[in-house]
Amino acid sequence: MVGGLTLLLALLLLAATLVGAYPISLADLAAALGRRLTGAPPQGQVDTVLFDIRLPRMAAAVLVGAALATAGAAYQTLFRNPLVSPDILGVSTGAGLGAVLGIFLSLPVALIQLSAFAAGLATVGLVYAIASLVRGREPILVLVLAGIVVGALAGAAISLLKIMADPYDQLPAIVFWLLGSLSSVRKGEIWAAAPLVLLGLVPLIALRWRINVLSLGDEEAKALGVEAGRLRIVVIAAATLMTAAVVAVSGVIGWVGLVIPHIARMAVGPSFDRLLPTAMLLGGSYLLLVDTLARTMARIEVPIGILTAIIGAPFFLWLLAKGREGWS
Amino acid sequence: MTHAAAAQAPEAPVLAAHRLGFGYGARTVGRDVDLHVRAGEVVCLLGPNGSGKTTLFKTMLGLLPAQAGEVRLAGTPMRSLQRADIARRVAYVPQAQAAHFPFRVLDMVVMGRTAHLGLFAAPTREDRRKALAALETLGIGALADTEYTRISGGQRQLVLVARALAQDAPAIVMDEPTASLDFGNQVVVLSEVRRLAAQGLAVLLSTHDPDHAFSIAARVALLDGGRLVAQGAPADVLTAERLRAVYGVSVVIERLPQGQTVCAPEYGKR
């Protein structure tokens, strides 16, 4: 499965490199890559389009898709619920508030992204702190409820800022950010987000088997020798870090973290050690495909968050109607 | 101490509660419980609903902190052990519930190997072999590739027993392993329990049926209101008077010519 998905991703990468507003032929691609590898000076528009615009954007799509799908798979396993998305503890809503605040204060782009990242982490930290204060109840339930409450508050704050924002300058920027887009991602931003995604990914891979056991519930996991409470903190921190890092770059792109882990589970079963690589590769491929559609389908670019919803929602309904495969 | 007495001096029990107090948070459910299980022994815990059986078990497994007294595993205080150390010494068979995710039966059983794996390790081929062997011991090796969500309640309970066997611990604690099973499956599960104990495992299980205690237990402990009201051989503990005192119903206890002892309630009589 992993081999097949890697091949799929490779083919999609090749196809996405060639198509676009400025089509590149295979020969042009080979020549441009040759120039880059031999250190020859860049020539003409092909190199600019390829290395400065198209490839960074493709890398962003793969990175964002892989990170959201992996975080979604981790959250779904942790919360023992296939309907959970990476936003369950409010990371995207919190990041959205951070970005909106940054736009409202007319901060430079880098600071807006930093604000989104920090607010995403802070929101989940707050949710976790609130949940820790409530003792003697099912910890998972308390976490989810705290996430809903804090997420709703952050949503209200976003609405307030929208009303107060300048309607000609700031409001469109806010709306555009909240819809999610990869069109303005720069190389530097990818280099900033990628290590953070990796930092979240490593513990998830290293602890993959224990995370699996944790999906049986705290009590059974403990009886099987797993430190459930500590492991949960690690998983939440790792998945939140990955999500916040990519949301800060791309804005809120919904549905990927919900639908992709689902499809992955249908393909390889619920075992997290198999689910993780499958969801990661599938998520990267999916968002690359959708983003390539977003920039080639119409004369004006369709925000990718709208496309993932248009594709994701009916697909999810189809999954529901098709039956129970993938969950109990 | 004479030589004979030294030879008889028993080793520390595999699992033991000493003056154990237990409960949730500040709420006390039970106290002063002395209970132990030795290798090769089945000990049955009986008690009415709400008497604290499950809370006692969770405390003896280290899932809840002891409020008083202590739990010892082969003489070692549980308090001094890491989670994985405890899991290598005592396995837990919870009541089989509907699973959240459709794990394959073999995947479910392999999870029993977790306490033997390094922090970052995944099960090896050897672990899978041991898991399959545990399934085969219970005669359900054919289910290995079936989804856990698609098998019957009795089969699920057996899978959880197999997982406990794969855990390779000298003691197993079972919380009402027969609670949701049909008549036939109850007999299947209890027969397996008796066979496992005969092979040297220490088994502590709770049940609502005195007949189960009569048929497989070396000793019975009767829990009422969080305290042990009696402990000993089934025939000594489970008398008609005591069952009436604890459960408030009249029973007839009869030894059948075939050798079994049965407990028959007298319906409508108190």
- The whole-number pLDDT of residue A324 equals 56
**Residues B41 and B116 sit within 8 Å (Cβ to Cβ):** no
Q: Which domains does chain B have, with CATH numbers?
A: 13-97+170-265 (3.40.50.300)
Domain span at A271? 2-7+54-296+304-312
- The whole-number pLDDT of residue B4 equals 45
**Residues A149 and A129 sit within 8 Å (Cβ to Cβ):** no
User: What b-and-e string marks burial along A87-113, b requiring 16 or more CB atoms within 10 Å of the CB?
Assistant: bbbbbbbbbbbbbbbbbbeeeeeeebb
Condensed to tens digits (0 to 9), the pLDDT of residues B16-47 reads 999 999 999 889 999 999 999 999 999 999 99
In DSSP notation, A128-156 reads: HHHHHHS-SS-HHHHHHHHHHHHHHHHHH
Residue B107 with chain A: CB contacts under 8 Å: 212, 269, 271
**3-class SS of residue B104:** strand
Structure tokens at A115: 């604000």
E strands along B59-213, which residues? 68-73, 76-77, 90-93, 171-174, 202-206
Q: Would A14 be classed as within a structural domain? A: no
The ranges of chain A with pLDDT < 70 are: 323-328
Nearest CB to B92: which of A135, A223, A269? Answer: A223
* Cβ separation B111–A227 shorter than 8 A: no
Per the listing, tokens 């995403």 go with A120
Q: Would A162 be classed as within a structural domain? A: yes
Residue in B with minimal Cα distance to A202: B120
In angstroms, the CA B41 to CA B193 distance is: 10
Number of domains in chain A: 1
CA dihedral B134, B137, B141, B144 (to 10 degrees): -20
pTM, two decimals, is 0.90
Radius of gyration of chain A (CA): 20
Residue in B with minimal Cα distance to A214: B111
Residue B86 with chain A: CB contacts under 8 Å: 225
Report which DSSP code applies to A166: -
- The whole-number pLDDT of residue A185 equals 86
E strands along B78-224, which residues? 90-93, 171-174, 202-206, 219-224
Question: How many contacts (CB atoms, under 8 Å) link A and B?
Answer: 82
Residue B96 with chain A: CB contacts under 8 Å: none
Per the listing, tokens 């950010």 go with A177
Nearest CB to A223: which of B63, B119, B122? Answer: B63
- The whole-number pLDDT of residue B256 equals 92
Q: Would A44 be classed as within a structural domain? A: no
Q: Would A20 be classed as within a structural domain? A: no
The complex scores an ipTM of 0.91
Q: Closest approach of chain A CAs to the CA of B253, in angstroms?
A: 37
Residue B98 with chain A: CB contacts under 8 Å: 328
Per the listing, tokens 């079963």 go with A269
CATH code of the domain covering residue A229:
1.10.3470.10
The ranges of chain B with pLDDT < 70 are: 1-10, 270
Q: Would A136 be classed as within a structural domain? A: yes
Chain B residues with CB under 8 Å of a chain A CB are: 24-25, 58, 61-63, 83-84, 86-88, 91-92, 94, 98-104, 107, 111-112, 114-115, 117, 119-123, 149, 167
**Residues B258 and B233 sit within 8 Å (Cβ to Cβ):** no
Per the listing, tokens 């197999």 go with B162
What residues does B220 pair with on adjacent strands? B44, B232
CA distance from start to end of chain B: 51
Report which DSSP code applies to B51: S
Residue A222 with chain B: CB contacts under 8 Å: 62-63, 83
Residue A213 with chain B: CB contacts under 8 Å: 111, 114
Kindly give, in sequence order, each residue whose CB lies less than 8 Å from that of residue B213, ignoring residues fewer than 6 positions away.
B44, B46, B207, B220, B234, B238
- The whole-number pLDDT of residue A299 equals 82
